[in-house]
Structure 1
Amino acid sequence: MDTPKPLTYRSAGVNIDAGNTLVDRIKPLAQSTHRPGVLGGIGGFGGLFALPGGYREPVLVSGTDGVGTKLLLAQEANQHDRIGIDLVAMCVNDILVSGAEPLWFLDYYACGQLDNDVAEAVITGVADGCRQAGCALLGGETAEMPGMYPAGHYDLAGFAVGIVEKSAILTGAACREGDAVIGIAASGPHSNGYSLIREILVRGGAHAHVQINGEPLVDLLLQPTRIYVNAIQGLRKAVTVHALSHITGGGLVENLPRSLPTALAARIDPQSWQMPAIFQWLQEHGQVSMEEMRRVFNMGIGMVAIVPWESRQAAVQSIREHGEQAFVIGQLVPRQDGEGVRFLD
């Protein structure tokens, strides 16, 4: 009888050496995101960060998220270098809503079998997103779990921490009837609604070669989520901001009311901005009602700022000066029948 070969971790599907090699490859990526406050580098058991001075009552704001089934499109298209930007964006845009400045970010990368080239491409995107957000990639975790994920698949999660002066936290309590609703443009669906998008692609038999206005469909769908840190920080210096809302899954319908007092609603004019062509394509090929589209997708508005009506033009100008498109898309009005958003159709 043959004697069974001794088992090793590698024969069970986990390559420790590959994991160590990946850490060495991503160290320069993390170093490229360093900002004041970072103590040490990646590779330890925990990331160290010294809180900045100048705060009387500093409050830490945290947020965690993933990128949902957009990951499947990235994996099917073999485009891994931008999905990490989405991961950072979904987390830092959330903590922006409280008025926080992002300080650091942690990522979690899980797979069935580690492919260092793919993992490095993903984390290159994470580092790019951190640089855009002005936060440090302070550390992370790579988990190789054979049997948990199919070959070629991986999962991502992220965690961001920011800081805000307690007196400067945005709660929406300052909102008043007549305030202007400023919409900041999205780059596309961002990282929401992709389960519906994938169903539309399957039903319509769409392929990567399909083009919309001369751009490949797959490129439009994999456009990274916009990171609004610079625009929002500039806006808060330019005008008084009463509230912010990150428009993610649920669209304006579900997200904007979360930032408003219960007595107020947003009256939105859909004609005040041009809906990106990708949404029209999705609606037509999926035969999706406009009501459903608005409850799933951002429809071209990725972030909303509520400012005094008299500050609306200055707000739009400030946002545009920081590289984003912005529009006055509505006004705050008394809420009726519990409806937080009212579209002028």
Structure 2
Amino acid sequence: MAKWTYSKSGVNINRADLAKQSIAKILGATHSKKVLNKIGHYCAAVDIGGGRAVAITTDGVGTKVLVAEKMRKYDTIGIDCVAMNVNDLICLGVEPLAMVDYIAIRKPNHKIITEIGKGLAKGALEAGVSIVGGETAILPEIIKGYSEYSFDLAGTAIGLVDKRKIIDGSKIKMGDVLIGLPSSGIHSNGLTLARKVLNEGNRKIGMELLKPTKLYVRPIMKLINSVEVKGLANITGGGLHNLLRLNKSIGFRITNWPRIPWIFQEIQKRGRISEFEMHKTFNMGVGFCVVVAPKNVKKAMAILKGEKPVVLGHAIGGNKVIKSGFYYK
């Protein structure tokens, strides 16, 4: 049996990055002086005066919608949509405020849309955001999945932050400590590869893949209001590569890792996927990372105790992540 990679499953990250760099260069020309950071971070902050900034981000849940369709279970996918957006907002130290959703469906179905709405509401309540509107588009010529009720789901979220309290990774120094927070499972990334190597129709597998993306808003907001935090990273598509977004001059050496959840072990085994490929595709059990100075580790760990935090390693020079002899850059 051949070895699987994310690219072989149909998702070429390198080509996607080139495409994103190209459009970012074009769209960068639209930026006024009020835009406080470049495209490429988890969210963008815009100066609105009075020492405040509004931050905005947008994201979807990818092919996890196909797992929901296969399992005929739609009441949790909305939680993923909320989490994918608010977890990105907090990476700049932003408190999420409001969100809108976008549902594109092949054929309207009242029950399915209602179930999706239940998940959106549950996620929003847990994250403390208001869903203030959205769009439901009927696109039979575009949306193609497993059935006549196939759909896509995405959202856009905004939040507010004091400009002096923006956490953009620029203060990270060599020797600072990297703390990881466990994920709830696969979250909403790498599903295209996972679905290729697993039997998503199997009830146990399908339900595991459908576990909602963990919401980190409450513990992270509590942390940044109590301790100086230098960097925050949502470990989504690209796995460990996400750490490289924090500071272009800084990397990380990973010396410790929590027990890898069984679903990732199963994916790796069935797809004969290398450890390197797994860590650059999936979260591998760590869904969010925090960077603090060594003197603040003890306090940060105490505040995050309920999340079962793990010290993963430390910051090093150069924009690379080193783990188990592999270089991610």
Q: TM-score range by the shorter chain?
A: 0.7 to 0.9
1:330 and 2:313 aligned: yes
Specify which of 109, 115, 118 is matched with residue 109 of structure 2: 115
Letter of the 1:120 partner, please give it.
T
1:255 aligned residue: 242
Measured against aligned partners, the alpha-carbon deviations of 1:168-193 in whole angstroms (never above 9, x if no partner) come to 11111111111110101111111000
| Correspondence for 2:160 | 163
- Structure 1's unaligned 5+ residue stretches are 1-54, 210-215
Tell me whether 1:229 sits opposite 2:209 in the alignment.
no
Bigger mean CA deviation after superposition, 324-333 or 159-168: 324-333
Question: Residue in 2 aligned with 1:277?
Answer: 262
Cα offset, 1:237, TM superposition: 2.0
Alignment equivalent of 1:73, drawn from 67, 70, 89? 67
The answer for the alignment partner of 2:12 in structure 1 is none
Q: Which residue of 2 aligns with 1:34?
A: none
Structure 1 residues 150-159 or 61-70, which shifts more?
Answer: 150-159
User: Is 1:243 equivalent to 2:226 in the alignment?
Assistant: no
Instruction: Determine if contact 1:172/1:261 at 8 Å carries over to the other structure.
Output: no
State the AA in 2 paired with 1:341: V
- Determine the structure 2 residue equivalent to 1:265: 251
The one of 297, 309, 331 aligned to 2:294: 309
- Find the residue that maps to 2:92 and give its secondary structure: coil
Does residue 299 of the first structure (1) align with residue 287 of the second (2)? Answer: no
Q: CA deviation at 1:206?
A: 6.3
Superposed CA deviations along residues 122-173 of structure 1, whole A, max 9, x for unmatched, are 0110111111111101111111233333402011110000111111111111
Assess, with a 3 A threshold, how the Cα gap between structure 1 residues 280 and 174 changes in structure 2: closer, same or farther. same
Identity of aligned residues (%): 38
- C-alpha contact (below 8 Å) 1:245/1:305 kept by paired residues: yes
Listed as ranges, the matches of 1:163-182 within 5 Å are: 163-182=160-179
Q: C-alpha distance in 2, partners of 1:68/1:227?
A: 17
1:313-335 superposed Cα distances (whole Å, 9 cap, x missing partner): 221221124xx221111111222
- Write the deviation string for residues 235-271 of structure 1: whole angstroms up to 9, x where unpaired: 112211001011111001x100111241x211112x4
Query: What is aligned with 1:100?
Result: 94
Query: 8 Å contact 2:253–2:316 — kept in the other structure?
Result: yes
State the distance in 1 between where 2:141 and 2:324 align: 51
**How far 1:220 sits from its partner (Å)?**
1.3
Give the letter aligned to residue 242 of structure 1: K
2:192 to 168, 182, 195: 195
| Farther off after superposition, 177-186 or 310-319 | 310-319
Task: Normalising by structure 1, report the TM-score.
Answer: 0.77
* Matched residue count: 274
Give RMSD over aligned pairs.
1.5
TM-score by length of 2: 0.80
Which one of 130, 137, 148 corresponds to residue 136 of structure 1?
130
Q: 1:155 to 1:272 in 2, by over 3 A?
A: closer
Return the letter of the residue paired with 1:258.
Answer: R
The residue identity in structure 2 corresponding to 1:164 is: V
Q: Check the 8 A contact 2:70/2:201 in 1, yes or no.
A: no
Verify the 8 A CA contact 2:177 2:314 in the aligned structure 1.
Answer: yes
CA deviation map 1:7-45 (0-9, x unaligned): xxxxxxxxxxxxxxxxxxxxxxxxxxxxxxxxxxxxxxx
Structure 2: state its 5+ residue gaps: 1-48
Q: Is the 8 A contact 1:175 1:261 kept in 2?
A: no
Secondary structure in 2 matching 1:292: helix
**Closer/same/farther in 2, CA of residues 206 and 109 from structure 1, 3 Å limit:** closer
Larger of the two Rg values belongs to structure: 1
